[in-house]
Structure 1
Amino acid sequence: MVDHETWSERQSATTVAVDGHDLEVAYHEDGPGDSDEPPVVFVHGIPTWSFLWRGVVPTIAEDRRTIAPDMVGYGNSAMHDGFDRSIRAQEAMLEALLDDLDVDRVALVAHDIGGGVALRFAAHNPEMVERLVLSNAVCYDSWPVEFVSNLGLPKTAALERDDLEERLDAAFVEGAYGEADPAFVAGMKAPWLTDEGHVSLVRDAVATNTNHTTEIDYGAISAETLLLWGEDDVMQPYEYAERLADELSSAELAPLSEAYHWVPEDRSDAYADRLREFLAGTET
């Protein structure tokens, strides 16, 4: 799998308007440009960025165009102060990015708070979402978790770089099943270990708002949905996947064993294979 430097080098960037702010959005794009199928859009969570999908995108890009943006305030997208980073604002970013890329129909694949973004987008734009895949996604009142809440405390902004890195190490190692790949951990931490990144991470954490998922009309989501969930996760437990399955009009549970919160990394091969089957409509 590629390292984070290579992933960054392969990203493109564009500027979109969100709440009246012109913000740069970095995105990784791959796959055939002439496919008749809608592109597959991957949305990450906190404290990750599009590099989360490094083990999944290459498989899907064999057949389909893929687009994996860094949410604003994350990764290689805009990190300066002065704009909202909530999932409401990220939904607006996603709408603007797809419009900029002239995309009018998608398959959405999302993890963690990216799942909240995807749920909002699918509820508000049902005509645009052909298929929806949610993995250990925030929903209802399942979030924010303690780790993210603590990141948003004022004292976190004053942490020494080594202390912040230690916290991030713990999150990525403890959230993994078994031994975390050092290249994954290093890549996930990299955007936050600058002065601007450090402050941006605190702003991102402060912007977490449970109201933005409790207000969703889940019944308005019409896309065929796969709940591809790491079943051993304690941050976004499997019980929430079961609740979504009960409430969404067309949802299938697909638990992945031996997977904690970072399920696209924990079980990247199994994840990519199951996702590919679902997107092709050939799942068993």
Structure 2
Amino acid sequence: MAPHDDWRERQESATVTVEGHELEVAYYDEGDGPDPPVLFVHGIPTWSFLWRDVAPAFAGDRRVIAPDLAGYGESSMYDGFDRSIRAQEAVLGALLDELGVDSCVLVGHDIGGGVGVRLAVNDPGRIEALVLSNATVYDSWPIEFIVDLGLPSTIRTMSVEECRETLSEAYRDTLHGDPTEAFVEGMCSQWDTEEAVVSLGRNAIATNTNHTTEIAYGEIEAETLLLWGTEDDEQPIEDAERLAEDLPNATLAPVENAGHWVPEDRSTEYRERLAAFLDS
């Protein structure tokens, strides 16, 4: 069994209603331990499989939850609902309510980090601590590649095969060092239907800079770890340095020799540094 199929076998599903739309949200949920649980949130164009080498390591000591955002992975992909960061914030809030989670430590990568900072401002009681990794913050996004994926002309003409080829190349080019085939194949596997290709385009066009420029970053009181790959051209370490100045309780923790996919590039170091943060 391929690693991504094994991950799917371990997922559960819940139905949430957001802005009148019923959405199936797939999620990994294992472990039982002292509160708060740890919520791992992926970005675009990944899914919860991003955390396969990180999240399960913590399930022996605490509850660990890793959802697929709406429009990604095994969650609903049908056309006709909002997939913006603002909408994903509502999806995660509804999922946590469904799972009986009052508060959590949120570990967010890419737009998952953007969702995390919104929750930390808008629902501060929900977020006990925050870990941001190469997150979409301020006006650092969307990047040209993602915008192009969301253009109607792209969505209408891109085949499943072309989508897989485009994304496979993108994943390989942005991994730091030799790409892991399990990562590339696992990430591409979610986009293997025509519905999924449209969903990817809708996810891409929903990237809205305003949803992270409107945030009052100075109001984020949660203790925050900025576990950030230093070799990322799109969400650069300078953004983490700015966050370290703007957030009252933030600690900058650069991860050397890691690019945008820092949980994949340096999974062992990532686990160790996250464990130290959680233990503290």
TM-score range, shorter chain: over 0.9
Residue in 2 that maps onto 1:99: 97
Q: Equivalent pairs: percent with the same residue?
A: 59
d(CA) in 2 for partners of 1:61, 1:156: 40
Counterpart of 1:66 (choices 64, 67, 76) is 64
Counterpart of 2:146 (choices 145, 148, 154) is 148
The alpha carbon displacement at 1:125 in A equals 1.2
The alpha carbon displacement at 1:60 in A equals 1.6
Residue in 2 that maps onto 1:235: 234
d(CA) in 1 for partners of 2:53, 2:269: 10
The alpha carbon displacement at 1:155 in A equals 2.8
Question: Are 1:85 and 1:203, in contact at CA under 8 Å, matched by a contact in 2?
Answer: yes
Structure 2 residue matching 1:203: 3-state secondary structure: helix
The one-letter code matched in structure 2 to 1:30 is: E
d(CA) in 1 for partners of 2:229, 2:60: 24
The one-letter code matched in structure 2 to 1:216 is: I
How many residues are treated as equivalent by the alignment? 279
Are 2:164 and 1:165 aligned? yes
d(CA) in 2 for partners of 1:107, 1:69: 14
The one-letter code matched in structure 2 to 1:3 is: P
Question: Are 2:37 and 2:64, in contact at CA under 8 Å, matched by a contact in 1?
Answer: yes
d(CA) in 2 for partners of 1:136, 1:82: 29
Cα displacement string for residues 94-129 of structure 1 (whole angstroms, at most 9, x for unaligned residues): 110001111101000000011110000011111221
Q: Under a length normalisation based on structure 1, what TM-score does the superposition of the two structures give?
A: 0.96
d(CA) in 2 for partners of 1:47, 1:55: 18
Cα displacement string for residues 201-240 of structure 1 (whole angstroms, at most 9, x for unaligned residues): 0000011100000001112211000000000111211000
Residue in 2 that maps onto 1:196: 195
Residue in 2 that maps onto 1:206: 205
Structure 1 residue matching 2:190: 3-state secondary structure: helix
d(CA) in 1 for partners of 2:253, 2:207: 27
The alpha carbon displacement at 1:79 in A equals 0.3
Cα displacement string for residues 173-193 of structure 1 (whole angstroms, at most 9, x for unaligned residues): 111011111111000011112
Are 2:265 and 1:278 aligned? no
Structure 1: any 5+ residue segments left out of the alignment? none
Structure 2 residue matching 1:55: 3-state secondary structure: coil
Are 2:268 and 1:266 aligned? no
d(CA) in 1 for partners of 2:170, 2:252: 26
Q: How does 1:10-49 map to 2 (within 5 A)?
A: 10-32=10-32, 35-49=33-47
User: Which 4+ runs in 1 deviate beyond 4 A?
Assistant: none
Cα displacement string for residues 139-177 of structure 1 (whole angstroms, at most 9, x for unaligned residues): 010000111111111232211322211210121111101
Counterpart of 2:120 (choices 113, 119, 122) is 122
d(CA) in 1 for partners of 2:15, 2:3: 25
Q: Under a length normalisation based on structure 2, what TM-score does the superposition of the two structures give?
A: 0.97
Are 2:64 and 1:85 aligned? no
Structure 2: any 5+ residue segments left out of the alignment? none
Question: Are 1:126 and 1:220, in contact at CA under 8 Å, matched by a contact in 2?
Answer: no
Residue in 2 that maps onto 1:51: 49
Question: Are 2:70 and 2:76, in contact at CA under 8 Å, matched by a contact in 1?
Answer: yes
The one-letter code matched in structure 2 to 1:57 is: A
Structure 2 residue matching 1:204: 3-state secondary structure: helix
d(CA) in 1 for partners of 2:241, 2:192: 37
Structure 1 residue matching 2:125: 3-state secondary structure: coil
d(CA) in 2 for partners of 1:31, 1:268: 20
Residue in 2 that maps onto 1:112: 110
d(CA) in 2 for partners of 1:155, 1:185: 26
The one-letter code matched in structure 1 to 2:215 is: I
Question: Are 1:40 and 1:67, in contact at CA under 8 Å, matched by a contact in 2?
Answer: yes
Structure 2 residue matching 1:202: 3-state secondary structure: helix
The one-letter code matched in structure 2 to 1:19 is: E
Cα displacement string for residues 253-273 of structure 1 (whole angstroms, at most 9, x for unaligned residues): 001011111100000010011
d(CA) in 2 for partners of 1:264, 1:246: 24
Residue in 2 that maps onto 1:224: 223
